[in-house]
């Protein structure tokens, strides 16, 4: 991989720039293994069936976006002129194998076969709960859509069958019709195997359109990058922000926000509206399944909501 000089790439690996208010990464292998071995008592267990929601609308007016929560970081988003997916994960497990690893607490809010034609897919980074190759292969075989991802992930996505893949560094942008898609910074990491740590990048995506601005944040810890995104790209009309997978904090603070930090990100972005994600689907960490939504509601922050799995809500992208 050959890239220009960067504050987050050393020629072989990507990294989070060293900033005074970025939480330290304390994820030593020994501590992670001890944590994993002692987690039996925090299992979510069987979950009750979720409500059935009406199907997403087949069209929306300019200046609006219909947002359907499929689960975790997967959303179906319909604008007036195109339809897209974020980090599509439809598999039963987020794992390198189909017989082990975190299993879904609930089925996807929409089945792959029930999706409308997809024009665009965003893939924020290569973790199994965000880059699900079985789902991506199905989408490549059944849609002619384009993929936008973070730097270094184009190889896997082309191998999955996508002909048009844009792999972006932070602040790089591509045009999709009248929509400008910019890769935005995140405080996270990348890995799919034992020896490929941080060989590819992680990011969010800003979609700046004539009728509004949407931000899909990907996966991120807290940090000053939210203010920088607002300063460089303007406040989003709608931000999709992670609120789950945050306990224990000594381990997860370096890579995942908790709901209180997500509320601060909402404010730092100047977002008019935000929707929470990255909760209630796969048990990746120790908090109870209902804790992220309860904690977010307890912050009292205005304009920040969550959707039920399978729920669609139409948001105005105009003040």
- Over residues 34-41, the mean pLDDT reads 62
Q: How does pLDDT run across 58-109, given as a tens digit for each residue?
A: 999 999 999 999 999 999 999 999 999 999 999 999 999 989 999 999 999 9
What is the edge-to-edge ordering of all strands in the sheet holding 238-242? 173-176, 179-184, 204-209, 212-216, 238-242, 274-277, 304-305
> 3 pLDDT exceeds 60?
no
Q: Smallest Cα–Cα separation from 119: which of 176, 70, 72, 60?
A: 176
> 2 pLDDT exceeds 50?
no
- Strand 64-71 to 74-78 pairing: antiparallel
Residue with tokens 């205005």: 302
Contact yes or no for 281/105 (Cβ under 8 A): yes
Contact yes or no for 230/265 (Cβ under 8 A): no
Task: Note the helical H segments in the chain.
Answer: 29-37, 133-142, 154-159, 225-233, 249-252, 259-269, 291-299
Question: What HEC string does 198-262 produce?
Answer: CCCCCCEEEEEECCEEEEECCCCCCCCHHHHHHHHHCCCCEEEEECCCCCCHHHHCCCCCCHHHH
Q: What is the pLDDT of residue 21?
A: 53
Q: How does pLDDT run across 156-199, given as a tens digit for each residue?
A: 999 999 999 999 999 999 999 999 999 999 999 999 999 999 99
Average pLDDT, the chain: 93
C-alpha to C-alpha distance for 244 and 69, rounded to whole angstroms: 15
> 24 pLDDT exceeds 70?
no
Q: What is the pLDDT of residue 43?
A: 83
Q: Which domains does the chain have, with CATH numbers?
A: 51-316 (3.60.15.10)
Rounded to the nearest 10 degrees, how much is the dihedral formed by the CA atoms of 214, 294, 254, 197?
-70
Q: What is the pLDDT of residue 1?
A: 44
> 20 pLDDT exceeds 50?
no
> 125 pLDDT exceeds 50?
yes
C-alpha to C-alpha distance for 90 and 93, rounded to whole angstroms: 8
> 14 pLDDT exceeds 80?
yes
> 42 pLDDT exceeds 80?
no
């Amino acid at each position: 991989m050959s890239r220009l000089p960067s504050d987050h790439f050393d020629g072989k690996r990507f990294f989070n720039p060293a900033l005074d208010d970025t939480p330290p990464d304390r994820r030593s292998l020994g501590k992670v293994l001890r944590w994993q071995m002692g987690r039996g008592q925090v299992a979510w267990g069987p979950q009750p069936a979720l409500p059935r929601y009406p199907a997403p609308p087949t069209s929306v007016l300019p200046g609006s976006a219909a947002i359907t929560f499929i689960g975790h970081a997967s959303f179906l988003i319909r604008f007036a002129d195109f339809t897209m997916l974020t980090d599509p994960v439809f598999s039963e497990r987020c794992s390198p194998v189909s017989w082990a690893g975190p299993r879904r607490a609930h089925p996807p809010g929409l089945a792959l076969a029930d999706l409308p034609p997809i024009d665009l897919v965003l893939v924020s980074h290569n973790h199994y709960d965000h880059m699900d190759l079985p789902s991506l292969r199905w989408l490549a075989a059944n849609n002619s859509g384009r993929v936008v991802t973070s730097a270094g992930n184009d190889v896997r996505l082309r191998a999955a069958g996508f002909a048009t893949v844009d792999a972006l560094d932070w602040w790089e942008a591509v045009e999709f019709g009248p929509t400008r898609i910019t890769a935005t910074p995140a405080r996270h990491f990348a890995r799919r195997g034992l020896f490929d740590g941080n060989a590819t990048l992680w990011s969010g995506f800003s979609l700046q359109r004539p009728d509004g601005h949407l931000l899909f944040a990907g996966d991120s810890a807290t940090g000053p990058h939210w203010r920088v995104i607002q300063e460089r790209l303007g406040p989003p009309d709608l931000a999709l922000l992670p609120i789950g997978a945050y306990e224990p904090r000594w381990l997860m603070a370096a890579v995942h926000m908790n709901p209180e930090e997500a509320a601060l990100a909402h404010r730092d972005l100047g977002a008019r509206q935000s929707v929470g994600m990255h909760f209630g689907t796969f048990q990746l960490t120790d908090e109870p399944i209902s804790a992220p939504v309860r904690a977010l509601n307890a912050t009292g922050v205005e304009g920040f909501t969550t959707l039920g799995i399978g729920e669609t809500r139409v948001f105005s992208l105009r003040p």
